[in-house]
Amino acid sequence: MNDLRKTTITTLEVAEMMETDHWKLLRKLEGDKKSAGIIKILNDNNFVVADYFIKSAYVDAKGEERPCYEVTRLGCDFLANKSTGEKGVLFTARYVKRFYELENNKHYIAATPTEHPGEVAKLLRVTSRHMEKQGSEPYEVAENAKLICEQYGIMLSPKFVKVPEYVQMKMADFLYRDTP
């Protein structure tokens, strides 16, 4: 994969950083009946659009799939150059910091609190079910949920995870142990 496309953020996050509505950012990228969008202009002039913007989707709070784009650092540079004034300066500062965080801490999910709690809830349900199917202990599922929430800027009580003093061992732990 091209190095330009390794690290991306979604247009949802970009719109938040630009202090604009997501639909307005999509219109700027895709265009409308009145004017061509950035993507069409790039395509028409033989630029590789995926170096800037990669078509994607997300699930909204109602559980419906909605369009969005993954935006590369190059795409953010492009949008920043089209922005002026204080908003342009603030957007540049936000996305530069965000990409720095992404590139220097691969496990970090989000730098700012999310405006899409339905997406976080869905992620929590999916990961919890997956962990439970694999036989994870309830406190391990809770620890994972707390980690995810904190990475999305959602702070939970320190008492959210209750680690047991001991864990009941199972007969299978003894029967299927690798022995030398």
Single out the residue of 10, 20, 9, 13 nearest to residue 114, CA to CA.
Answer: 13
pLDDT of residue 180: 53
Which two three-digit tokens encode residue 121? Answer: 């809830």
Q: What is the pLDDT of residue 121?
A: 80
Q: Are 139 and 164 in contact (CB under 8 A)?
A: yes
Q: Is the Cβ–Cβ distance between 114 and 12 less than 8 Å?
A: no
How far apart CA 87 and CA 17 sit, in angstroms, is 9
Residue 73's pLDDT is what?
87
Give the model's confidence band at 111: pLDDT under 50 very low, under 70 low, under 90 confident, else very high: very low
15, 101, 4, 5: which is closest to 66 by C-alpha?
15
Q: Rounded to whole angstroms, what are the CA distances from 116 to 13, 22, 68, 119, 154?
A: 10, 12, 13, 6, 11
Segment 4-61, tens digit of pLDDT: 456 788 899 899 888 989 999 999 999 998 999 999 999 999 989 998 899 998 888 8
- The pLDDT-based confidence of 145 (bands split at 50, 70, 90) is confident
User: Please, is 30 exposed, middle or buried when counting C-beta atoms within 10 Å of its C-beta (0-12, 13-18, 19+)?
Assistant: middle
Instruction: Fill in the DSSP letter of residue 19.
Output: T
pTM for the complete prediction?
0.54
Grouping H, G, I as helix, E, B as strand and the rest as coil, residue 61 is: coil
Q: Who has greater pLDDT, 157 or 136?
A: 136
Question: Mind listing the pLDDT tens digit for each residue in 55-91?
Answer: 998 888 888 888 999 998 888 888 888 887 888 788 8
Q: Cα angle at 40 between 33 and 76, to 5 degrees?
A: 110
Q: By percentage, how much of the chain surpasses pLDDT 90? A: 15
Collect all residues with Cβ–Cβ distance below 8 Å to 137 and sequence separation of at least 6: 164, 167
Band of residue 114 on the pLDDT scale cut at 50, 70, 90: low
